[in-house]
């Protein structure tokens, strides 16, 4: 709406925990999008300040491993390097290998740096840290450091705006950095992973107890455009093993 009213080009950055989603907007229309593996939770810290998690995407930038005690200056330095990647994406800094390294593989070929001079707007959890005076350990992650680094960077030296509603969860960030599956949770045999863009068939636990449930699933599968689908059961009930086994038999049928 702002770009439509002002006639300016807007580069929007939604910076969350795991990714920064980019959108170049001209005359109120999204011209192109991109995504960087830059976010506030690429590094997490324990209560005692030691590292508890380091994203694999940072292997070329920092040598930290879980259990390491990291000086605050080092955390700020890393956040500054990540802010530089965002500067490169905005066309405010000459791009080097880091820009291509942090571009997500799915959209890497779709992003080109915009013309310098675009108004830059921010949303996402890290956007809340840009103007704040939060201490570095406020969220036990890199978020406050990254927000403060962005504030000092070229991204905020020109015309920039913070969204009125800054925090939104993104599917890419949540999927890459919040979903954790153990070997006891999922077993796959002769299945190539990951599976992407599958339709979802929802059903309730009450529906699965119906004698017509198998036919219900079969009918829904026939109407899917994909030869495969995800079955998702609504509700929060935790059934015992015998009920899970019965459900599996109906689905297999």
**34-48, 126-140, 227-241: segment of lowest average pLDDT:** 227-241
Strand 230-234 with 160-162, pairing: unpaired
pLDDT at res. 133: 81
Q: How far is residue 101's CA from residue 156's CA, in Å, rounded to a whole number?
A: 23
* Residue 234 scores a pLDDT above 80: no
Q: How does 164-202 read in b/e, with b if 16+ C-beta sit within 10 Å? A: eebeeebebbeebbeeeeeeeeeeeeeeeeeeeeeeebe
pLDDT single digits (tens) 195-207: 777 888 888 877 7
| pLDDT score at 116 | 64
Question: In residues, how long is the chain?
Answer: 253
Angle subtended at Cα 126 by Cα 123 and Cα 132, rounded to the nearest 5 degrees: 100
Mean pLDDT of 228-246: 79
Give residue 148's pLDDT.
Answer: 95
Read off the pLDDT band of 9 (50, 70, 90): confident
Percent pLDDT > 90 in the chain is 24
> Please, are residues 42 and 58 in contact by the beta-carbon 8 Å criterion?
yes
Could you read off the pLDDT of 142-197 as tens digits, one per residue?
999 999 999 999 999 888 888 776 555 555 555 544 445 445 556 677 877 777 77
For residue 250, give both structure tokens. 């109906």
C-alpha dist (Å) from residue 27 to 2, 4, 135, 166, 206 = 9, 4, 38, 22, 49
Residues 6+ apart with CB under 8 A from 149: 76, 79, 80, 82, 83
Residue pair 125/167 in contact (Cβ under 8 Å)? The answer is: yes
Please tell me the predicted confidence (pLDDT) of residue 74.
93
CA–CA separation, 53 and 37 (whole Å): 15
End-to-end CA distance of the chain: 51
Better pLDDT: 140 or 235: 140
- Torsion angle, CA of 147/151/155/159, rounded to 10 degrees? 120
- For the ranges 7-21, 31-45, 140-154, the maximum mean pLDDT occurs at 140-154
The whole-chain average pLDDT of the chain stands at: 82
Q: List C-alpha distances in Å: 23 to 29, 30, 53, 161, 245.
A: 10, 6, 29, 14, 46
Q: What's the confidence (pLDDT) of residue 184? A: 53
**Segment 58-97, tens digit of pLDDT:** 987 888 998 999 988 999 999 999 999 999 998 888 888 8
The proportion of the chain whose per-residue pLDDT surpasses 70, expressed as a percent, equals 82
Residue 166 pLDDT: 59
Q: What is the rounded average pLDDT of the residues 113-131?
A: 82
The confidence score (pLDDT) of residue 237 equals 64
């Amino acid at each position: 709406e702002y770009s439509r009213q002002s006639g300016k080009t807007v580069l929007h950055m939604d910076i969350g925990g795991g990714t920064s989603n980019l959108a170049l907007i001209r005359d109120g229309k999204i011209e192109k999008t991109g995504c960087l593996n830059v976010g506030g939770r690429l590094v997490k810290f324990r209560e005692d300040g030691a590292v508890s998690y380091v994203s694999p995407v940072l292997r070329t930038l920092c040598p930290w491993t879980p259990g390491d005690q990291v000086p605050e200056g080092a955390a700020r330095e890393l956040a500054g390097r990540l802010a530089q990647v965002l500067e490169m994406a905005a066309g405010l800094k000459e791009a080097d290998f880091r820009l291509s390294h942090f571009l997500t593989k799915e959209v890497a070929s779709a992003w080109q740096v915009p013309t310098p001079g675009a108004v830059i707007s921010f949303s996402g959890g890290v956007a809340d840290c840009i103007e704040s005076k939060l201490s570095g350990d406020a969220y036990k992650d890199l978020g406050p450091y990254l927000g403060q680094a962005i504030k000092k960077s070229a991204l905020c030296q020109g015309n920039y705006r913070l969204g009125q509603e800054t925090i939104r969860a993104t599917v890419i960030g949540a999927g890459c950095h919040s979903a954790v599956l153990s070997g006891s949770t999922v077993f796959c045999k002769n299945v190539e992973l990951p599976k992407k863009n599958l339709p979802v068939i929802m059903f309730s636990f009450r529906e699965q107890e119906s004698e017509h449930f198998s036919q219900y699933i079969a009918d829904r599968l026939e109407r899917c455009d994909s030869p495969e689908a995800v079955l998702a059961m609504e509700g929060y009930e935790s059934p015992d093993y015998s009920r899970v086994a019965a459900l599996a038999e109906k689905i297999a049928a």
